[in-house]
Structure 1
Amino acid sequence: MKKKNIVTIKQANIFTTIVIFIFTIIFAFLLIEENYLDYEKTLLKEMSLSKEKVNIEQSEKYKETQKKLKSILIKNTIAIATLAFILFAIVLGLYKILNHILQRDIQVFLDFFKETAHKEYMLDPDKIFFKDFKTMVGYANNMVDTISEQKKTLKDLNQNLEEKVKQKTLNLQVTNEKLRKEKEFSEKILDAQKKFLRYTVHETNTPLSVILTSIELYTMQHPKDKHLSKIEVAVKNIFSIYDDLSYLVKKDQVEYPKSMVDMGDYLDFRISFFNDVAQMSKVSFDYKKPQNSLHIYINKTKLQRIVDNTLTNAIKYTLAEQVIDVTLKQSGSNLEFSVASKSKAIKDIDKVFHAYYREEKDREGFGLGLQMVRNICDEEGIEIKVSSDENITVFTYIFKMIGD
């Protein structure tokens, strides 16, 4: 991109002076040339006359005339040159005067803009010569007034904003302090709640064990009646809830070591535990223990949470007089544990693993069991598959199997 030429006022003055000088010389040259042509014409005329009457007297007269004409030519040339110089001087002087006045007005404006950049400064119209510039003085002063008003407005606005920011800051500090205290209070409540749950879980185990042991001792000597069966079922349900709470309370503080578990035997043991609960709900289990030992490597507490929550959910939601099919089979290097039964179709399969979600609101429970199952399966790399329609609902867990 080409840069534009920048000409200063001084350079423009020099250029203008040269132009005026050149025009003056041309003007003088043209006048002198015209005068010289007149001189030559007169000489030619005198020469033609002298040729017609050739004599000494006329020859002397021709020379005298030529001498006079040369004198007049010189005087006219000097007069023209002098007049041209005077004209040049007058024009140049007028130009210099006007240019000086123009530069003075421009300098006033330059000083104005220079001063206005740092402080409020008003132009005095009396310092300006040209009328057009006087009009510009009015516009410039109006501009300064407008800028001054805007500065005042912005200053007031900034002060108001500063006050608002200070007030907001104070309010935020107060709010933050309240939140800090509320956080401390909530942490204290949570800590107290955890301690209470740990204490409750610990203290609940003993009476539950005593009740179950007492029921078993009683049924060894007396036949089990309907009321005693209800008590036993209720205790087993409480035991299941107790085991869930115990795991939730301790899972972040206790390490759960893994061991080899015979899945066939373990399922047989847990189904036997919940048989009475199933009978009380008018459902039953159908489970055929595999003939071969099928082992997995897992912590028993975590496995119990998966199995117990799946079995108790099946008991809770299976329709009355229906059978809960429990199957365990090997599939390549995996072991598939499935629980299938006829129940109402699950509307949203993904949500059943969310905390506090229950398909049927009138059913007992907190909706935490399957979320806990999902978390354990994610931790242990156990795949979960769920399918549900009007005919059957199936929960399948796929474990990595180990050899005998």
Structure 2
Amino acid sequence: MNIEETQDWFSTLRRFGIKPGLERTTRVLAALGNPEKGLRFYHVAGTNGKGSVCAMLSAMLRATGARVGVYTSPGLAGFNGRMTIDGQRIEDDEFARYAACVRDVMEADGGEDPLTEFEVLTVMALLYFAAAAVDVVVWETGLGGRYDATNVVTPCVTAITNVSYDHVQILGPTLTDIAFDKAGIIKHGVPVVTGADGEAYRMIEQVAKTQGAPLMRLTRDFSLVRTGQTGLSQTGYYRGLHRDTAEVNLSLFGRHQLANAAVALAMLETQIDNRETDHWARAIAALPTVRWPLRFEVFRGASGPVVLDGAHNPGAAFQLSRALTDFSVSQGSQNEWSMLIGVLADKDVTPMLRSMLPHAKDVIICRPNHVRGADPADIRASVHMLRPDLPVRVIENVHEATSVAVREADALVIWGSLYMVEQARETISKLEMNYWI
């Protein structure tokens, strides 16, 4: 297959939707010689922060001299952006070649219980990383953990960043249910790091004990406390599992990124010998270089800041709200924000709006270019219910809505579905805006 034929084939996979379970993936991997067996994985699950943890881990591991494969979802630049080696996404010809390998096995299997789109991508990533003989793979779950396709591997360390409400129709209605599913990535004897608390932590602790897995908990066993802030940069004191570091500099903004960085550092600590001080120093020095698009990514608009954030569930919206307050204080202003919002229909939008609308002075609502994109009229009704005083417009097309919002707003935040925010970013990139420093 060439890349066009590959894209056509992928379009046929979407009808299979989401089908949790590992049997399909393990069957195809066995037919392909189990490429995952020779790889070393840092496996990351959680409701929010997975991508940021993966970005920081990747940078630190590369700084220590490792060749690093990263698998995330969703990724910038389409499917190719989901699998990278040392920051470079897979090329089209390689992508097509590994897709053809998976398709051939699926066809030889008789077409019964075929792989979903995500499962195909997961198998392709394993083939790609195995062929390249990477030293380590930073491996992000897609949805949940226990029955997620990524859970076919045995990692050297796992992490569950945090647990809050998302995908409840699949993972379960309570935090305990969601935590149980995410804790499914915990393997026998493999260290697990978590930032979860409350009832979610208690479930993770229970699973870890059952698996005989050493469990490290944020604030109890390790922490990163902010000691300073300049612009979008933060400085913190890391109290670690085996070592303390007085000055850790982060380029990712927001208090939640301190927790994410602490999880990444603790994961790394479980794998670095206490005597490897040079590796640790190089890892710490890499953190200020990390950029993670669509996570409080700030551009300099003509009249003020333009913030992009894929806050797509209640927990993420809460953290974005706090970050907006911190950002305004850091700039010596009390910005009211124009907002461009687009979410998916299966998200609980009301608590998200409760967190975000206190910052809003006006709102534009668009429809994400995704099969699950929410009807803007429904979101407008939810906005009016919470803030009947707020001016609200619907501009369905994401690119048109972004152009209007950027042109008219003094301070703008674009938030919601990662798919929508990525589309908005494409429009902004054509305007050649500079990053906010």
Q: How would you bin the TM-score normalised by the shorter chain?
A: under 0.3
The structure having more radius of gyration, on CA atoms, is 1
TM-score (structure 1 length as normaliser): 0.20
TM-score (structure 2 length as normaliser): 0.19
Q: Which structure carries more strand by proportion?
A: 2
Q: Which structure carries more helix by proportion?
A: 1
